[in-house]
Structure 1
Amino acid sequence: MVDLIRFYLERNAEMIQAKSKEKLRDYLHMVERLIKFWDGKTVFEINENTIREYQATSRAGTPLSDNTVLRDFGSFRPMINFGIEKQRLELGGHLIDWELPAPPPPREAYYTRDEVAALLMAAWKKKNMAFEEVEKNGIVKKQRVVSKTGKGISTSRHIARFILIAVWTGTRSEKIEQASFVETDDRPWMDLDSGIFYRGGVENKSPTNKRADPVRIPDELLAHLHRWRALNKHTDNVIDHKGRAGSTRGAFRRLKLEVLPPGRVEKVNRHTFKHTCASWLMSKRAPVSIIATYLSTTEAVIKKHYGHFHPDFHKEINDVLKIAKAERLAKTVAERKAKKAAEAKKAA
């Protein structure tokens, strides 16, 4: 089994190395878990019981979550299938038992406008003691940076910028983190002159490519981007922190813990901004087809998960019920009039 994993890694090394730093780290941790557990085993031992054992024992102290198992096997299964396709093994008619945990229901959480505003304000105003690397006599040391006021340095403004881009464009976190102000071969590019965010990089400029569609940058966000570019001419990174484009995951989680109530912290994450963008667009009656292309998804997905945010959601049902009520009322009034007329005629 380990030979199949290594064979896959060797043959797909370029694709694996192209992952973002954060995703590559997570992928290598997953590979390490797989190798450690499946070492000495064969594909004929993949079944419901060994998968449960993998979930229970692959991490010291705590079992893997169902989500983690699904992600791990989402990568492990293609490794095995690749070996079969390349004739590195013969199953002899054996069917592998890929009995996995049931996928969890999709997250239905969305940020409110007040929550987005609170996160933005906290990220923009947050100040900490910062450090910079200074070389002296050939030795590089870290020394504390002190602001003129002595109240610390703004260390989370890159998170505020991340939030604005995420909620206005519905773009995935890694695409925002990797984004550049200049055209490059391997990074998403924000073309401020044309107002287009090429989320898939320059090789994906075609609007027919569905991997990460280019999108128009909203005017208000474009104004912010021009201002950020002017203030940070020393870097081409859209989300720049200490001269580098890096992950926002840890910093955003800490921000959540500071700003949101405990009950909300575990329900929302950075990807929730995409859901928020979709729900806001739907609530303002943007066409479903436009929302779908803007978020690089399908109209069916938009209707299924966000259709209820449209002001006219099930309006026809409401109209039918109103008409039915009006008809019942008219019938009741007519019956009362007829009864009164009959009583008056009888009395006469």
Structure 2
Amino acid sequence: MPRRAKGPRLYLRSRKGRPSVWVILDGPAEVSTGCGEHDRGEAEKALERYLTEKHRPDWHRGSPDEVAVADVLAFYGEHRAPELTHPELVGYHLMPLLDFFGDKLCAFIDAGSCRTYWRGRMEGKIGRRAVKQGTARRELETLQAALRFAYQSNKLAFPVPVTLPEKAAPRERWLTRSEAAALIAGALGIMPVAYDIENRKPVKWGRMFRPSYHVARFILIGLYSGTRHDAILNMRWKQNSRGGWFDLDHGIMYRRGQGQTETNKRRPPVPIHENLIAHVERWKQITIHGPVEYHGQLIAKEKKGFARARTLAGLDESVTPHVLRHTCATWMLQRGISTWEVAGFLGTSEKVIRDTYGHHSPNHLQTAKRRFRGHKLGNEKMKEAAQ
């Protein structure tokens, strides 16, 4: 039995004596994207454009048993994805979706096929590698959005439901003060070199590796502002339309660029934390575009540098860049700041703060604790009076 064609996909082509380049493999054809090894995001966009140009949808009468899933995804990638905050994520999600659903009709999509998809993704049978349930869920959410967009655009005659796996429980990992200090030290190449014999706690530290100053700045901004990963990386010193900036004259951190539309992940301006402002003033004197830059260029993702700092700090993989946001919220609540103020500072709802971090507040359920005490508890006369 012949093997099923994999369809258009990206491949990193090694070239003797020249830099590697991402190419699109489509059967016997090979199309260069012109993107180098470290330009995976641009290569994903090139693949998305290739898929859109290669195949033009045939909608027939719009019935789900006539319309191909590939047509729906191509239509979404061409007309809706460019308007999103992170269109590159659509390109990431399209490849495994096309690998499984690409040769199917929309009528194939039901609870069973969706379960088969997310289990196959988690087991590594679909796509390049195994992923967690949350990643498989986000990919199916892209499929769901594409089907909804096609229906709203009168390409599909009927809505096609998508069954999603359960949402993962919210992460509650946050850093203690000592863990945060160790993480910053790891970014600076500093680690313990001597330990106490009895309690095995470090007593002497030394710089053992080359420092990654941009990683240390990233960590400090995350800890003291609770700003999300991408917003930190896009922070600049001057007003711009691509990201936020620091207004040192007025002590304000603008986390959204001029003219950028607000999304569900709100980025309100906030005062620069008093523990951060001295650092920011110094960083401005030694950098060009923004605080998180490497060799004069803003970086796209904080992955390898953060992972190195985490390893040197002796922390496990549960510590991700997003944990800095959790830590900021937790520290604020531990200091007795109200959930309303914390929600406004982080740009989220008070309900999210209450449900995810509320137990860290010293005032958590204090009213119930005070009321549920006293020598009259369980008194029969009180019960009769209540009746």
- C-alpha distance after superposition, 1:30-88 (max 9, x if no partner): 2122222222211110012222332313225x544211111101111111111111111
Maintained 8 Å contact 1:4/1:79: yes
Specify the alignment match of 2:14 in structure 1. none
Specify the alignment match of 1:88 in structure 2. 155
Q: Which has the larger displacement, 108-117 or 1-10?
A: 1-10
Percent of matched pairs sharing the same residue? 28
Specify the alignment match of 1:228 in structure 2. 283
State the distance in 1 between where 2:155 and 2:261 align.
38
TM-score, normalization by structure 2: 0.68
- C-alpha distance after superposition, 1:297-334 (max 9, x if no partner): 11122122222222222223333355338999xxxxxx
TM-score, normalization by structure 1: 0.76
Specify the alignment match of 1:43 in structure 2. 106
Q: Kindly indicate whether residue 121 of structure 2 is the aligned counterpart of residue 121 of structure 1.
A: no
Query: Which structure would you say has the larger Rg?
Result: 1
- C-alpha distance after superposition, 1:65-114 (max 9, x if no partner): 211111101111111111111111223xxx63422221111111111110
Amino acid at match of 2:182: A
Q: Kindly indicate whether residue 329 of structure 2 is the aligned counterpart of residue 278 of structure 1.
A: yes
2:239 pairs, out of 183, 195, 217, with 183
State the distance in 2 between where 1:27 and 1:256 align.
29
- C-alpha distance after superposition, 1:213-257 (max 9, x if no partner): 11111122111101111122xx11220112221111222122212
Matching of residues 1-348 of structure 1 within 5 Å = 1-16=69-84, 19=86, 24=88, 26-55=89-118, 56=120, 57-60=125-128, 62-91=129-158, 96-125=160-189, 154-203=210-259, 211-232=266-287, 235-246=288-299, 247-261=301-315, 265-324=316-375
Higher relative contact order (CA 8 A, sep 6+): 1
- Figure out how many residues of one structure are paired with residues of the other and give that number: 290
State the distance in 2 between where 1:242 and 1:43 align.
48
Maintained 8 Å contact 2:81/2:90: no
Amino acid at match of 1:159: V
State the distance in 2 between where 1:2 and 1:204 align.
31
| Residue 209 (structure 1) shift | 9.7
Distance 1:274 1:41, change over 3 A: same
Amino acid at match of 2:98: I
Amino acid at match of 1:31: L
Is there any run of 5+ residues in structure 2 with no aligned partner, and where? 1-68, 192-206, 380-387
Q: Secondary structure at the match of 2:188?
A: helix
Q: Secondary structure at the match of 2:297?
A: coil
Maintained 8 Å contact 2:170/2:356: no
State the distance in 2 between where 1:243 and 1:325 align.
69
